[in-house]
Amino acid sequence: MNKYTQQIAIGAYHTNQHAQASVTSLFNVMLEAAWAHAQVMEWGYEDLKSNNMFWVLSRVYFEIEKYPEWQDQITLNTWSSGTDGMYAYREFILENEQQEVLLRASTAWLILNLENRRIFRLRDLRNSFPRLEVPNVCRNPKRVKPHARSGELSFQPVLFSDLDVNKHFNSVKYLERVLDGFGIDFLNTFELAQLEVNYLKEGLAGDKLAVDTVPVSDSSYSSTIVRESDGLELCSLLTHWRQRQQ
């Protein structure tokens, strides 16, 4: 299977107050392209639903070279990068009109049974998920170990707008909560350069979640999202920042 390509115009609804596409809007665009390509490959939402299964995003790694700006025309390419028997890997490259790479990403996906949440093994389906060799792509995402709790947590409920079509806390909403926790002054001073995410448990309606963030270095932070009812970590993230260019 070849690359799946989308041409995208950056609208005002994609951007932040700096007229740059936000990392969460780029994440959403990438996920939509992944769903669309899976449909072409006959492994889409409806294909799996008919067999009582569904896709879940398990791991993500981004390298962001440059953020596109309002009214920019960008090209998003995504493709299957094989399976190790459990994870199905998918890669992304985002380019501007000058064919400069803006963003590289690699993702790892699981197929789960809708009823018992067991992982559907992909060992015998390697031909369905061929690895397309493409240069200049980043590494595969790795395991991100949650850090020790830093102290008292502030729990906020899962809202209606947080839920996706699978009735789960949406994968981009995890990132949104973590980024908002850094505060406006920090986000006006720094921009995200690298991101790594592990999704560990499902967040559901009725849950209350808290973000716990601790520094790893001067420019890196470890974050976890914790559920109040059982104290479990639902998501673990590493963020690496650079000075925002004015």
- Asked whether the beta carbons of 129 and 122 are under 8 A apart, the reply is yes
Q: Which residues contact 37 (CB under 8 A, 6 or more apart)?
A: 1, 4, 78, 79, 80, 90
Nearest to 196 by CA among 235, 242, 157: 235
Q: How far is CA 18 from CA 2, 184, 189, 191, 203, in A?
A: 35, 12, 11, 11, 31
What is the reported pTM? 0.92
- From the number of C-beta atoms within 10 Å of its C-beta (0-12, 13-18, 19+), residue 230 rates as exposed
- Here the tokens at position 84 are 């190790």
pLDDT of residue 136: 65
CATH number belonging to domain 1-142? 3.10.129.10
Nearest to 171 by CA among 63, 89, 57: 57
CA distance 60 to 57: 8
**What string of pLDDT tens digits covers the 246 residues of the chain?**
589 999 999 999 999 999 999 999 999 999 999 999 988 888 888 888 888 888 999 999 999 999 999 999 999 999 998 888 889 999 999 999 999 999 999 999 999 988 888 888 887 776 777 777 777 689 999 999 999 999 889 999 999 999 998 899 999 999 999 999 999 999 999 999 999 999 999 999 999 999 999 999 999 999 999 999 999 999 999 999 999 987
CATH 3.10.129.10 positions along the chain are 1-142, 143-246
Its CATH class, for the domain covering 143-246, is: alpha beta
CA distance 157 to 208: 4
